[in-house]
Amino acid sequence: MAEEIPARLGIDAVVVGVCDERPQVLTFATDGRPRLPSGAFAPALDRTLELAARRVLSDQAGLREGYLEQLYTFGDRHRDPREVAGGPRFVSVGYLALTGIDDVNCAALGGAWHDWYRFFPWEDARGSRPEILDRIIVPLLRRWTAAARDDAGRAFRARVAFGLDGAPWNNEAVLERYECLYELSTTSGGADAIATLGEAMDLDHRRILATAIGRLRGKIKYRPVVFELIGEAFTLSELQSTVEALAGMELHAPNFRRLVAESGIVERTGAQRRTSGRPAETYRFRPDVLAERPDPGIGIR
């Protein structure tokens, strides 16, 4: 009979904000590596997992309210080195929190905001196709798939995840791309190269962040979550730049404005804001859209 291994349950939270058209994630440092806000689930203290997550966010980020949703449960064997050393299996429930940058007093609590593209530089295609894809990643993937010609699944996963050989690029497949590169890094000759592909994070927090980015990119298309990350009043240009920052892609401005107008998701405030050019009309989220449509998100085409 196999020896029973004890398990411990914890919380890992991805706290996202947007500042200066850059998507930011809240991190702390452990031995020089960024980590997500984390804490243990306390059965005697936490009536629910969500309350445990809110307690962790309150203690570590000063964040007591706001948007919060459960992401996934992360429990791979040896995801925490303490298990390798004979400790229990560490299982973590991941959460996604959305907030305004100014709502988190991270400096006083030892945290810092970081652009999430420093961890996934191949995911930001707003200016053009990321140079790191064709210079480093695609050649690595070609060698990786060629080394296992008898494994058709490997080549297919790489093709679908990275849009190779005519396959379309799916901006939501962040986790799939990361897992391809992670698997590649465990093969001979891949480890040294992949170390240059974005900044590392503590434990498996980079995988948790990839899960959160993919979830958020998908969700902005059918739920009004983007308005958790923008001020109460905003211009359509500010709304578009926020969506582009999260999606990692440029949007056609006239099409974006048409889709927003057709959706009924925003309404005019009657005020204007001076920008670098002429004054721009400001808008706000229109809550009534939640009762009018089953999927009130921001169309991306």
d(CA 19, CA 102): 10
d(CA 17, CA 22): 9
d(CA 233, CA 227): 10
Residues 182 and 242 in one domain: no
Residues 85 and 162 in one domain: no
CA 224 to chain centre: 16
Residues 110 and 165 in one domain: no
d(CA 211, CA 158): 18
Which of 65, 87, 118 is at the close of a domain? 118
> How does DSSP classify residue 265?
-
Residues 98 and 180 in one domain: no
pTM score, whole prediction: 0.94
**CA triplet 109, 116, 61: central angle to 5 degrees?**
20
- Whether 300 is covered by a domain: the verdict is no
Range of the domain at 57: 7-118
- Quote the number of domains for the chain: 3
Residues 97 and 59 in one domain: yes
Helices assigned H by DSSP within 147-300 = 152-162, 174-185, 191-194, 205-219, 236-247, 253-263, 289-292
- Whether 157 is covered by a domain: the verdict is yes
- Whether 91 is covered by a domain: the verdict is yes
Residues 14 and 66 in one domain: yes
Residues 131 and 92 in one domain: no
d(CA 199, CA 177): 15
- Whether 216 is covered by a domain: the verdict is no
d(CA 124, CA 69): 24
Mind listing the pLDDT tens digit of every residue in the chain (301 residues)? 556 778 899 999 999 999 999 999 999 987 888 999 999 999 999 999 999 999 999 998 888 889 999 999 999 988 888 888 888 899 999 999 999 887 776 665 688 999 999 999 999 999 899 999 999 999 999 999 988 888 888 999 999 999 999 999 999 999 999 999 988 887 755 555 666 789 999 999 999 999 999 999 999 999 999 999 999 999 999 999 999 999 999 999 999 999 998 889 999 998 988 777 788 899 999 999 999 988 888 877 6
- Whether 166 is covered by a domain: the verdict is yes
Residues 97 and 19 in one domain: yes
